[in-house]
Structure 1
């Protein structure tokens, strides 16, 4: 049971999460006609998942907002996503949208 839980957490969820991150960063970058890149391991340790233009971005599920008990303090703009039946809904905060339009 523990082996299956670890496999699910490390292989399945991590892999899916990384694919979501890359897809979301790419889609938003294309929408705003910006270059993008994924974060380096050092940048990831600071909560950065990638860059759109020169703006560091973190990608989180919408449920992250309700997890107030997390001690994580991310100091970059966050793009939220919500899994829906027909895909993923991307939620960009208004202040980040303004930055991306510049």
Structure 2
């Protein structure tokens, strides 16, 4: 039986410890993008948070803030300068976006990139099916939503561009399928896979 309980958060969340800021709409999205692109809060700048929390004996946010600032006195200012610099780049870029650019971006996304990815997936499935003399099929929309792009010899596979490996947003993503990576050049589609997984 699943147990349910609760503990008081009063001591942990002392209102006097927290700096409350009312961020206007859309600003946090831009700040997150600037932070991601500038790598302002990477461990080399602000420290590895999971390790730092384990190191400290802090039990409240006040204790944590005091301990962190003592250990990393310049971290927040260094991160701020990195984010600030990238926000300026975003400001300049946004000024260049007009109706013509929006339409060109949508055409590239809808007519080129989306279709290209799907056509590459089908080509890889057909190629491996022919090379290994095994069956292949595409996934259903419901399966695709779970990250499954198709099947080889009845085994679910997920076909991703090589850049997928380095994306921080998906490093902890769990896909119940064999991963096949590809890199597209002008003449070839290079693929990387564990052939034993579906043979």
Alpha-carbon RMSD across the aligned residues, in angstroms, is 1.4
TM-score by length of 2: 0.46
Alpha-carbon shift at residue 75 of structure 1 (Å): 2.1
Structure having the higher strand fraction is 1
Aligned residues: 98
Contact 2:159 2:180 in 1 (8 A): yes
Structure 2 residue matching 1:69: 3-state secondary structure: helix
The structure whose Rg is larger is 2
- Could you list the runs of 4 or more consecutive aligned residues of structure 1 that deviate by over 4 angstroms after TM superposition? none
Partner in structure 2 of residue 89 of structure 1 = 190
Work out whether 1:60 is the aligned partner of 2:154: no
Structure 1: give runs of 5+ residues left out of the alignment.
Answer: none
Cα shift readout 1:64-100 (whole Å, capped 9, x = no counterpart):
101122364322111101112321111113xxx1132
Structure 2: give runs of 5+ residues left out of the alignment.
Answer: 1-100
TM-score by length of 1: 0.87
The partner residue of 2:197 within 80, 99, 102 is 99
Higher relative CO (CA 8 A, sep ≥ 6), structure 1 or 2? 1
